[in-house]
């Protein structure tokens, strides 16, 4: 495969950002390591005869030459990068990423990891640079190495940390659009609310309520960028049934009113070209919206 961007010790050989309706990829393998990130929806990735269901905010990291398959049965957005070692070793197809040594040295073939380090934002910055009128390869190089550091950070976080907080985060991520009380979350985790709040703040440096607010507003920003929904509908979609509460939460997180933020989004005009080796193999729609979150 022809290199798109030749980095210091890696080649970025493919990338895409697609909104899938449905998709069933044939099992395949390739020489590049692959990062597949779920920005919205749910996908199933089969790797080495094991099926993994990935939801929003999760990603799978696949080593080179691993047989894998992607299946999508409902609307989902997937971000993807494929990286090839410039000088792959005979026994380690992807030996060109020392920043991933904590993962590679652990019998790595593939991992499903929760994004706890801002990986989605980093990928979006890489994609925006790649599709710009004048791609800055040095900047892409920096961004990709930043991405590898963030992947390693999320991996380490997934291997350690307070199990109660991890369970609480998973519950919140799955239910944040509903009316959530700390007592409900604590009941799902199985510990006292006050004890959970202390543990949560110790590990995340924020309160449970602040975390939920940030999650909701992040989703609202994505909906503003990708849909034509009225603000009141977006507020309801992310868990706010009261317009005033939504405006207050949005200003707290973003610094401006949602109506002003939405006007700013309408002023952004950009066409995103997506390069992918699977362009003619599946049913999908091209994403031409810029994700500003």
Q: How confident is the model at residue 209 (pLDDT cuts 50, 70, 90)?
A: very high
What is the per-residue pLDDT for 63? 86
For residue 4, pLDDT beyond 70 = no
For residue 65, pLDDT beyond 80 = yes
CB atoms within 10 A of CB 213: 22
For residue 133, pLDDT beyond 80 = no
Rounded to whole angstroms, the Cα distance separating 70 from 52 reads 10
CATH of the domain spanning 5-160, picked from 1.10.3720.10, 2.30.30.40, 3.50.50.60, 2.60.120.280: 2.60.120.280
What is the Cα gyration radius of the chain? 20
What is the per-residue pLDDT for 43? 95
Lowest mean pLDDT among 87-101, 172-186, 256-270: 87-101
For the stretch 164-172, contacts whose Cβ atoms lie closer than 8 Å and that sit 24 or more positions apart, written own/partner, are: 164/189, 164/190, 164/191, 164/196, 164/199, 165/196, 165/199, 165/200, 165/203, 165/204, 168/196, 168/200, 168/208, 169/114, 169/204, 169/211, 170/114, 172/208, 172/211, 172/212, 172/215
Average predicted confidence (pLDDT) for the chain: 79
Q: Please, is 187 exposed, middle or buried when counting C-beta atoms within 10 Å of its C-beta (0-12, 13-18, 19+)? A: middle
Range 163-266 has CATH code 1.20.1260.10: no
Q: Is 73 helix (H, G, I), strand (E, B) or coil?
A: coil
The two beta strands, 68-72 and 284-286, are unpaired
> pTM for the whole thing?
0.56
pLDDT, tens digit (0-9, with 9 covering 90-100), for 75-117: 999 999 998 876 555 444 454 456 666 676 556 788 888 887 8
Q: How far is CA 126 from the centre of its chain?
A: 13
**If we measure between CA atoms, which residue out of 85, 95, 155 comes closest to residue 119?**
155
- CATH 1.10.10.60 residue spans of the chain: 163-266
Give me the mean pLDDT over the 188-193 stretch: 93
What is the per-residue pLDDT for 269? 34
What is the per-residue pLDDT for 101? 65
**If we measure between CA atoms, which residue out of 250, 256, 170, 171 comes closest to residue 214?**
250
Cross-sheet strand order for the sheet of 68-72: 23-24, 68-72, 42-47, 50-55
- CATH 2.60.120.280 residue spans of the chain: 5-160
**What angle (nearest 5°) sits at the alpha carbon of residue 50, between those of residues 19 and 33?**
60
């Amino acid at each position: 495969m022809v290199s798109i961007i030749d980095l210091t010790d890696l080649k970025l050989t493919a990338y895409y950002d697609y909104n899938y309706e449905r998709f069933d990829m044939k099992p395949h393998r390739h020489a590049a390591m692959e990062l597949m990130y779920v920005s919205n929806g749910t996908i199933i990735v089969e790797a080495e005869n094991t099926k993994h269901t990935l939801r929003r905010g999760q990603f799978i990291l696949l080593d080179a030459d691993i047989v894998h398959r992607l299946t999508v049965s409902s609307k989902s957005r997937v971000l993807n990068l494929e990286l090839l070692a410039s000088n792959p070793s005979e026994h380690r197809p992807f030996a060109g990423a020392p920043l991933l040594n904590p993962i590679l040295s652990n019998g790595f073939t593939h991992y499903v990891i929760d994004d706890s380090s801002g990986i989605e934002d980093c990928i979006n910055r890489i994609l925006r640079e790649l599709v710009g009128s004048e791609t800055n390869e040095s900047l892409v190089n920096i961004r990709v190495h930043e991405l590898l550091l963030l992947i390693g950070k999320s991996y380490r976080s997934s291997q350690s940390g307070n199990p109660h907080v991890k369970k609480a985060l998973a519950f919140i991520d799955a239910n944040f659009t509903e009316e959530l009380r700390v007592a409900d979350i604590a009941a799902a985790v199985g510990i006292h609310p006050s004890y959970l709040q202390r543990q949560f703040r110790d590990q995340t440096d924020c309160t449970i309520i602040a975390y939920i607010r940030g999650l909701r507003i992040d989703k609202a920003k994505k909906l503003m960028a990708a849909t034509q929904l009225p603000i009141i509908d977006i507020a309801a979609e992310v868990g706010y049934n009261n317009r005033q509460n939504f405006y207050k939460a949005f200003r707290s997180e973003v610094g401006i009113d949602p109506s002003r933020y939405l006007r700013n989004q309408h002023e952004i005009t950009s066409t995103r070209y997506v390069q992918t080796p699977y362009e003619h193999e599946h049913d999908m729609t091209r994403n031409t919206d810029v994700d500003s979150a």
